Amino acid sequence: MSGNTALLSLNTATVREQWNLRQCIEGCARHGLGAIAPWRDKLQECGVGEAAKMIADNGLRVSSLCRGGFFTGDTNNLDDNFRAVDEAVAINAECLIIVAGGLASGSKDIEAAREKITDDLRKMLAYARSCKMPLAIEPLHPMYAADRSSI
C-alpha cells in the first residue's frame, strides 16, 4: 500500500467471514494500519481482556467499537448497552457506535420508536458520560427507518 496507512482503520465487519479477531488485529499490524474498529461479537471470540491486550500489543488504536443501540427491540436491552460502554472503555475505544433501532415488532408508529430511542439514549448517555466514553450515532439512510434506525 502506498500513502499513510497509519491513518486507516479496519472495521471488522468487512472481513467477518474470513478472519477471527486475532487475524484482524495481526492483518492490521502487518499492513501498517493504525487502528481497528471491532464488532462486539468479535470481542467475545477471545474475551474483552484478551482482545484489549492483543490490540495494545500490536500497537493499534481502537477507532470505535461496533455497536450499541437497538433500543426499540422486543426486550429492554439497556443492560447490554451499558456492557457495550464498559467493553469500549476496556479496549480503549475512541467511541462506541450506536445504531438506534427501527420500529418495534409489528409497529408502524415511528413517533413511538423515536420516543423510546430518545428515552433510552438519554439513560445510556448519562452512563457513557460517567465512563468518559463518547457515543457516535451512525447515520443511516431513511430507507432503514423501519428496521435499523428510526432517527
Cα–Cα distance, 32 to 5 (Å, whole number):
6
pLDDT (average), residues 56-82: 93
- In the chain, CATH 3.30.750 covers 65-151
The secondary element (H helix, E strand) that includes residue 120 is helix 110-130
Lowest-pLDDT choice from 4-8, 9-13, 59-63: 4-8
> Each residue of 25-67: pLDDT tens digit?
999 999 999 999 999 999 999 999 999 999 999 999 999 999 9
Domain covering 65-151: architecture: 2-Layer Sandwich (3.30)
pLDDT (average), residues 114-133: 97
pLDDT (average), residues 99-115: 93
pTM of the model: 0.93
- B/e letters for 101-131, b = 16+ CB within 10 Å, e = fewer, are bbbbeeeeeeeebbebbeebbeebeeebeee
